[in-house]
Each structure stands twice: as C-alpha cells, then as structure tokens.
Amino acid sequence: MDITIDEDIKAQTFIHIVSCSSGRTSVPPAESLVIGYYQNACPDAEAIISRTVNQWFTKDMSLAPAILRLHFHDCSVRGCDASILLNRTRGEMQAPKSKTLRGFDVINDVKANLEKACPKTVSCADILTAAARDATLRLGGPFWEVPMGRKDGTVSIAKETDVVPMGHESVTQLIQFCQARGLNIVDLVVLSGAHTIGRSTCASLQFRLYNFSGTGKPDPSIDWKYLNYLRRKCVYESEYVELDATTPTIFDSVFYTNLQQNKGLLSTDQLLYSDERTQPLVSTLASQPYIFTAQFAVSMVNLGNVQVLTGKYEGEIREHCNLRNPYKHVAAVHNP
C-alpha cells in the first residue's frame, strides 16, 4: 500500500511499504490525550519539566539518550504508564533487561519539583513522555507538542519485560512487536533512528563479532573495517560502544547512511537495510534527512500514545514515581 510519511512534510514523499497493521488500534483517539492538558491545573508543568531535565543534561549529557531509552522501555510493557519507574520486588525495574537503564533520578527530581508547584496533579507517565521530547530537542532533534493526560499504572512485573527488543530479533519479530502496539513499519524504522545517539554494551555484540548464528565466525553483514574496530573496542563485555559509528553525539539521519555501509551496530538495525519491507524506508531517510526529522516527531507522538491509561477509573497520579499511592496498597489488601 502507499502511505505518506506526513502531510506537513514539504516533499509530500510517498514510500511504498507493507503496513504491519491495518490501523493503530492501541493508539487512543485524539480526545483521550490533549495538548495543553495541564494549562489550568498546573500551567508551569512543561516549563518545570524542561528546566529540570535540562539541568541534569547540563551535568551529564549521556542522560539525554538514556531518557529516550527509558521512555521506550516503559511504553513497550503495558503501554506508557510509568510502570518502569515503580521500584517493586520482581517489578520491571528489577528485570535483567532493565539493568542498564538510567535516568530514574532525573524523573524523580522532576516529579518532586512538580509536587511542590502542583501537588497530586501531573502523572509520572506524562513527565517521562515530555522528558523524552526534551531529550531529543537537547540532542539537536525536533520539537513537538506532547499530548498529555496519561495516568500512572499500578502494576509492574519483571517477566513482562521479556517482550522488549534487545538487538537479537528478526525484522518480522520487530514488526509483530509494533503491530501489537498499534505502530507500523514507518514507526519501526523511524524510531530505530533514535540510535543516532546513545551507546550499547559490548556484551550485546559478542555474537555478531565472533559466533554469528553458531557459525564460529563474525556476522558477514558487518563492514570488515568496522568489525576490526569493534573487536578492538570490545575487549571486555562491560565496555560501551556508540550506536552511531559516524556522528554519535549529533541527532541526524547518518544512522541510516551507516546501515547502507554495513555499519549498523545492532543486528536489528542492520537488518532494516537487508529486508525488502524496510529497505526502501532506510534509503529514503538516508537521502532526505528532513523527512527523518519531521517523521521522528510524529512517530514519537505515536509511541507516547501506546496503550495509555486515561479513564476515570484507570490508574492514578502517583505522588512518588517509584511508589504506588498508599490507598492503592490498602485496596490490594482487601482485594488480593
């Protein structure tokens, strides 16, 4: 089918794709989330969020891509409900796939500042979603208005993080992951472009460097010069390596050019250029950077809309992002 990337993109470019979903069934209708949601109840909410996260980024710029990753992990499990922030025994935060996540203190600090200004008003889920936007902007990416009105979830289960992609999946598995969340192939390829910044542990690369698919040999799709670099860089599994081999500190579309040169760090990234369903998108985003910038904003809004809690009897507004509100604990005693 033919779809446009976005009506506002200057070129009105059409990309031929097979959508992984006939619709965005998990994305709420427009009225469920609202731009300016806190305009009356907490008019300075977004200013407080932006000011606080930028103070943290000034001290440690690596926290910006960390916040983007934290937001993605949160929305991947139970939707964007801040369940990743709950510090509970056998919760998402304690899962093996979450051990390298960072940025929790940033969100907690934002929440503390908002509680001083507007007690019990702004959800942690909205804070994390807006912080991901501000992180993108700080890294040189686009600005977009964040629709708000999410509630915070009260359930967090470590086992449920098994669904989060970790760089070993096939394109089909990634498409199915998207489909379950109401996202399509455009969202998949564009959101993968967040790897234009940030780092990965060398532990996640070992199978590509030395024993791809049990062959005892490296992944043949890796550029040989890049392979040699990665082997030198990843002497220890605990080391980190930049996700973008060319411009790791700049938010740009060079990530897609790297894929064309077989310099994708993660297997899931490189496969986007070898699969016929996603290759045309990679080529277009590599050759027309402004499309990536514009569509990244659109796809981030789509991600932030995944399975949100907005109903009167759904979720809560947590007073502390790491803890459920006290009355929920009481309810759990009477309703196990």
* pLDDT tens string 25-71: 344 444 589 999 999 999 999 999 999 999 999 999 999 999 999 99
- Give the bridge partners for 4, in sequence order: 14
The verdict on whether residue 244 carries a ligand-binding annotation is yes
Angle of the 124-138 helix axis to the 63-76 helix axis, nearest 10:
140
The verdict on whether residue 189 carries a ligand-binding annotation is no
The verdict on whether residue 165 carries a ligand-binding annotation is yes
State the fold for domain 190-296. Answer: Peroxidase; domain 2 (1.10.420)
Chain mean pLDDT for the chain: 89
Residue 295 has pLDDT above 60, yes or no: yes
The verdict on whether residue 60 carries a ligand-binding annotation is no
Residue 138 has pLDDT above 50, yes or no: yes
The verdict on whether residue 195 carries a ligand-binding annotation is yes
Neighbours of 63 (CB within 10 A): 21
Alpha helix segments (H runs only) across 139-223: 171-179, 185-192, 206-210
**Residue among 242, 250, 234, 231 at smallest CA distance from 289:** 250
> What local confidence, expressed as pLDDT, does residue 142 receive?
96
* Range of weakest confidence among 4-13, 76-85, 145-154, 246-255: 4-13
Active site residue 73: yes
Neighbours of 22 (CB within 10 A): 9
Q: How confident is the model at residue 9 (pLDDT cuts 50, 70, 90)?
A: very low
Residue 92 has pLDDT above 70, yes or no: yes
The verdict on whether residue 162 carries a ligand-binding annotation is no
State the fold for domain 32-163+306-334. Answer: Peroxidase; domain 1 (1.10.520)
Entry pTM = 0.88
Residue range(s) of every CATH 1.10.420.10 domain in the chain: 190-296
Question: Which residue in 71, 73, 320, 329 is the catalytic one?
Answer: 73
> What local confidence, expressed as pLDDT, does residue 24 receive?
38
Residue range(s) of every CATH 1.10.520.10 domain in the chain: 32-163+306-334
